[in-house]
Amino acid sequence: MPTFQTFKDLSVTFKSNPVTDDLVVVKDKAAIMQSVISLLQTNKGERLFKPDLGCDIRKSLFEPLDYATAGIIRSQILETVGKYEPRVRVDNVAVIPDELTNSYEVRLTFTIVGRDDAPVTAEFLLERTR
């Protein structure tokens, strides 16, 4: 019988549990998904004492909206997740430019290392903020 490792983290909402009054905890897939999204939303140099932590995909949003820039964003995502999230193995990253909304659709599929779970897919939109 395989043993599974459980992953826990505090929810980024910082809401309290109505019964115990403790902070809400996210587990397993939700905890890892929250960690990956947090890594991708963090700019390099933003964290004290860890200036290399994070991903510079926001800088790429002001480049031309094309497949070349999408390739750069894809490689930045692969590098960041591969370097800072050892609990996952990236299966696929698709970055698709959308000219109508002036944004990129990102679909990141990964497998949790050491577990027999189905692959997890994170879908999000990257767009410039003015």
- What is the CATH topology of the domain spanning 8-127? Nuclear Transport Factor 2; Chain: A, (3.10.450)
Residue-level pLDDT at 4: 60
The rounded Cα 15 to chain-centroid distance in angstroms is: 21
Q: Which of 89-93, 113-117, 123-127 shows the lowest per-residue confidence on average (mean pLDDT)?
A: 113-117
* Global pTM value: 0.83
Segment 95-103 mean pLDDT: 93
Segment 17-21 mean pLDDT: 76
The domain segmentation of the chain, as residue ranges, is 8-127
Give the model confidence (pLDDT) of 30-89 as tens digits: 888 888 988 999 999 998 899 999 998 989 998 999 999 999 999 999 999 999 999 899
In eight-state DSSP terms, residue 65 is S
How high does pLDDT run on average in the chain? 86
Q: 41-80: string of b/e by CB count within 10 Å (b at 16+)?
A: ebebeeeeeeeebbbebbebbeeebeeebbebbbebbeeb
User: H helices within the chain, ranges in order?
Assistant: 28-41, 57-60, 67-84
